[in-house]
Amino acid sequence: MGSPWLDPPYGAPISTDAIGELCESLSRRAGLGRMVTPRMGRHTMASNVVDAGGSLDEVQALLGQKNPESSRPYLHPQASRLRAAIERVASPREFTEAGQ
């Protein structure tokens, strides 16, 4: 018996189990220290969308989720984006120098 993602009928929807098997096989073939899972792919995609300037509602739609709060666990901001957020906040010294 062949692999479920290579066997006919071609063009048929791929099952969740077949996606998991494909990720496992590719992880092993790449010699990774751990298995890459479909869930890891969802987390990566959601984080990349946000890091590229996407909004939470866009992530929600792309992940096919009904509740906006369901998308929050998938967000993992890059350190550079966090640094940029900190730098956007004015320091107390800037307020003092400006006479505010």
The dihedrals phi and psi of 5, each to the nearest 5 degrees, come to -90, -5
- For the cut 60, the answer to whether the pLDDT of residue 73 exceeds it is yes
pLDDT of residue 23: 93
Measured between alpha carbons, how far is residue 45 from residues 12, 16, 59, 77 in Å? 24, 18, 9, 12
pLDDT for 6-61, tens place per residue? 667 677 788 889 999 999 999 999 999 999 999 898 888 888 888 888 888 898 99
| 99 contacts 70 by C-beta, under 8 angstroms | no
| Helices and strands per DSSP (H, E), number in the chain | 5, 0
- For the cut 60, the answer to whether the pLDDT of residue 1 exceeds it is no
Report residue 80's pLDDT band, with 50, 70 and 90 as the boundaries: confident
pLDDT of residue 6: 67
Token output for 54: 């996407």
Among 61, 30, 29, CA closest to 46: 61
